[in-house]
């Protein structure tokens, strides 16, 4: 090859490298093969970044000498910020500060609300603890948001995008939590309020006899009412719907008391008859499901008393959801002592759509009934098929204006409880309530981001016949494959041997 040709090819190769590098500075591209698209920005994030009209400065107080399990988390966060910067047309500016190297920077981080987390680090075959910082401060003008700890995985995008959303919102729409009919206080919905407060101002609201419900509320939320709702209050809710309003109802029309092992129907406080007038019926029977949660039972074994987990079909685990914004991205919701819903729209312009279903192996039990924790459940108990346990309605529900309604026949599925009785709620339970209120409020921007990430992958429910087929198939099929392969190889060897005998080498 001539020397001139070699030089020409080398120059072309260098030119290609330079061009590719120039393009890579302008275009950020990465392939994402994860099942939950963990490394792909959601539409909500892309839309938000594209709508920014002011610069947001992100200061990441992030330790550098992290243990191996957290190094990947730091790299993923750097990649995420690069993509945010590129998508925002320069409205996202970021810097990294290592607080471990400067006492002044560490003090600034802690004063801003970023506290260190203690992690184990191995040095020279010894395990030591170090203070690791993994938080960020976002600044836009005189407004500031702090994320104390950036969670690894898909939680990174949610934390960052919601913080940006808070900064960019000027006037938050208002959501009313109705009080005065035995509903729990707002303090009982800690997790729900944490999610809703990103987009909305939450206010307790008591319906009065003298004033109509203000139209500026995007959604009325009625959670777990216990007392009778006066007819005048029902009328005011109807009037609110007639102006194009939206109502979220989580109400238990059944009374399941596990402590007394007794199940009964709750008296109608006014909601059931009101819903019937809109073509929606809350059934007076309990739904049981073979796909269910467990309860802890104290059992005597010899001289010892132990707690064991027992499957409890009255606690259905819901994994079947329709294609609707309110149920988007959900994987597993637990709805104890739930009833089903039937519906027949009285107006053809009203669209009622189921949001969630029990499994095909479901049954119904009419109250009153006693609960036997140790009951030996069998297939005959689950012969009633799939049941609808949440619906969304849209259309002229009252008057002629287009209004919205979401109904879930369980008032406590997303409650944390009051005072010392508070406890953490299943994440998707809260996501269902939040998604529903987002849809009712015409703001679905964070739904796909909120439910992003695999939290639960329940196994498919199989009947006994399918289980037996799979069990014996795992034993028999490999043996048959070995025999078939052996037979084929034997036939080939015999054919070759015959050729050798005949002199065909």
Helix (H, G, I), strand (E, B) or coil at 22: helix
Q: How far apart are CA 77 and CA 71, in angstroms?
A: 10
Closest CA to 96 of 135, 154, 39: 135
Residue 306: the pLDDT is 76
Residue 278: the pLDDT is 93
Q: How far apart are CA 341 and CA 281, in angstroms?
A: 6
User: In whole angstroms, how large is the CA radius of gyration of the chain?
Assistant: 30
| HSE-CB of 271 using CA atoms within 13 angstroms | 28
Residue 100: the pLDDT is 85
Strands in 388-395's sheet, in edge-to-edge order, are: 201-206, 174-179, 217-223, 246-250, 403-408, 388-395, 351-357, 320-321
Which position has the higher pLDDT, 303 or 362? 362
Contacts of 156 (CB under 8 A, 6+ apart): 76, 77, 80, 150
Residue 215: the pLDDT is 92
Residue 124: the pLDDT is 64
**pLDDT tens readout for residues 24-58:** 655 555 665 555 566 677 788 888 888 888 899 99
Residue 64: the pLDDT is 84
As a whole number of angstroms, the longest Cα–Cα distance in the chain is 110
Residue 447: the pLDDT is 73
Residue 212: the pLDDT is 93
Q: Is the pLDDT of residue 282 over 70?
A: yes
Residue 375: the pLDDT is 87
| HSE-CB of 267 using CA atoms within 13 angstroms | 5
pTM of the model: 0.77
Length of the chain: 505
Q: Is the pLDDT of residue 430 over 80?
A: yes
Structure token pair of residue 136:
């960020």
Range ranked top by mean pLDDT from 10-24, 223-237, 359-373, 481-495: 223-237
Residue 77: the pLDDT is 87
Q: What is the DSSP string of 390-427?
A: EEEEEE-SSSSS-EEEEEES-SSTT---SGGG-----H
Distance of CA 138 to the CA centre of its chain: 25
Range ranked top by mean pLDDT from 123-132, 232-241, 306-315: 232-241
Q: How far apart are CA 308 and CA 306, in angstroms?
A: 6
Which position has the higher pLDDT, 380 or 17? 380
Residue 119: the pLDDT is 77
Q: Is the pLDDT of residue 252 over 70?
A: yes
**pLDDT tens readout for residues 379-402:** 899 999 999 999 999 999 988 889
Taking residues 152-171, what's their average pLDDT? 81
**pLDDT tens readout for residues 84-136:** 898 888 899 999 999 888 888 888 888 888 888 887 777 666 667 778 888 89
DSSP 8-state secondary structure symbol assigned to residue 453: S
Say what percent of the chain tops pLDDT 90: 40
Which position has the higher pLDDT, 127 or 231? 231
Residue 296: the pLDDT is 80
At 464, is the pLDDT very low, low, confident or very high (cuts 50, 70, 90)? low
Q: Is the pLDDT of residue 505 over 60?
A: no
Residue 273: the pLDDT is 93
Q: Is the pLDDT of residue 204 over 90?
A: yes
76-90, 348-362, 382-396: segment of lowest average pLDDT: 76-90
The helix-helix angle for 155-168 and 43-51 (nearest 10°) equals 30
- Counting Cβ atoms within 10 Å, is residue 288 exposed (0-12), middle (13-18) or buried (19+)? buried
Helix (H, G, I), strand (E, B) or coil at 461: coil
Taking residues 229-248, what's their average pLDDT? 94
Residue 421: the pLDDT is 75
User: Is-contact 279 345, C-beta < 8 A?
Assistant: yes
Average of per-residue pLDDT values in the chain: 85
Q: Is the dihedral of CA 352, 356, 362, 367 positive or negative?
A: negative
Q: Is the pLDDT of residue 175 over 70?
A: yes
Q: What is the DSSP string of 295-363?
A: EEEEEEETTEEEEEEEEEEEEEEE-EE-SSGGGTT---EE-TT-EEEEE--SSTT-EEEEEEE--SSEE
Neighbouring CB atoms inside 10 A of 33's CB total: 7
Q: Is the pLDDT of residue 82 over 60?
A: yes
Helix (H) or strand (E) segment spanning residue 60: strand 56-62
Strands 126-132 and 117-123: antiparallel
Say what percent of the chain tops pLDDT 70: 88
Closest CA to 135 of 123, 153, 151, 121: 151
Q: Determine if residue 326 is left, alpha or beta; phi over 0 gives left, psi from -120 to 50 gives alpha, anything else beta.
A: alpha
DSSP 8-state secondary structure symbol assigned to residue 154: T
Helix (H) or strand (E) segment spanning residue 282: strand 280-289
Taking residues 466-473, what's their average pLDDT? 80
């Amino acid at each position: 090859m001539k020397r001139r040709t070699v030089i020409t090819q080398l120059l072309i190769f260098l030119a290609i490298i330079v061009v590719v590098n120039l393009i890579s500075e302008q275009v950020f591209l990465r392939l994402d093969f994860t099942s939950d698209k963990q490394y792909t920005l959601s539409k909500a994030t892309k839309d938000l970044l594209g709508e920014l009209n002011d610069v947001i400065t992100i200061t990441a107080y992030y330790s550098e000498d992290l243990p191996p399990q957290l190094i990947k988390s730091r790299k993923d966060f750097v990649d995420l910020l690069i993509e945010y910067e590129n998508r925002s047309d320069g409205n996202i500016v970021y810097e990294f500060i290592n607080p471990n190297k400067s006492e002044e920077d560490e003090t600034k981080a802690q004063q801003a609300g970023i506290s260190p987390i203690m992690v184990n680090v191995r040095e020279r075959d010894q395990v030591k603890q170090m203070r690791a910082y993994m938080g960020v401060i976002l600044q836009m003008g005189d407004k500031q948001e702090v994320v104390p700890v950036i969670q690894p995985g898909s939680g990174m995008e949610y934390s960052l995008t919601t913080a940006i959303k808070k900064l960019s919102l000027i006037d938050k729409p208002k959501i009313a939590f109705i009080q005065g009919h035995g509903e729990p206080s707002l303090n009982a919905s800690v997790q729900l309020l944490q999610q809703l407060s990103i987009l909305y101002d939450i206010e307790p609201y008591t319906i009065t006899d003298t004033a109509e419900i203000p139209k500026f509320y995007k959604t009325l939320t009625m959670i777990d009412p216990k007392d009778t709702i006066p007819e005048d209050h029902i009328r005011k809710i109807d009037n609110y719907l007639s102006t194009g309003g939206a109502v979220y109802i989580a109400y238990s029309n059944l009374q399941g008391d596990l402590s007394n092992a007794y199940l009964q129907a709750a008296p109608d406080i006014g909601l059931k008859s009101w819903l019937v007038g809109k073509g929606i019926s809350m059934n007076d029977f309990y739904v049981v499901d073979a796909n269910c949660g467990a309860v802890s039972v104290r059992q005597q074994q010899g001289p010892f008393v132990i707690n064991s987990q027992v499957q409890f079909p009255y606690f259905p685990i819901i994994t079947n959801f329709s294609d609707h914004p309110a149920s988007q991205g959900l994987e597993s919701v637990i709805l104890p002592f739930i009833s089903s819903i039937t519906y027949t729209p009285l107006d053809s312009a009203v669209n009622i759509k189921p949001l969630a279903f029990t499994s095909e192996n479901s049954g119904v039990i009419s109250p009153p009934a006693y609960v036997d924790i140790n009951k030996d459940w069998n297939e005959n108990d689950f012969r009633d098929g799939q049941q609808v346990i949440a619906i969304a309605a849209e259309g002229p529900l009252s008057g002629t204006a287009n209004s919205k309604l979401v109904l879930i026949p369980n008032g406590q599925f997303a409650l944390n409880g009051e005072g010392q009785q508070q406890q953490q709620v299943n994440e998707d339970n809260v996501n269902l309530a939040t998604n529903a209120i987002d849809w009712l409020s015409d703001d679905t921007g964070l739904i796909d981001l909120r439910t992003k990430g695999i939290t639960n992958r329940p196994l498919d429910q199989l009947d006994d016949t399918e289980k037996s087929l799979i069990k014996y198939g795992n034993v028999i099929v490999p043996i048959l494959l070995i025999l078939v392969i052996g037979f084929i190889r034997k036939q080939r060897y015999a054919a070759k041997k015959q050729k050798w005998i005949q002199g065909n080498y």
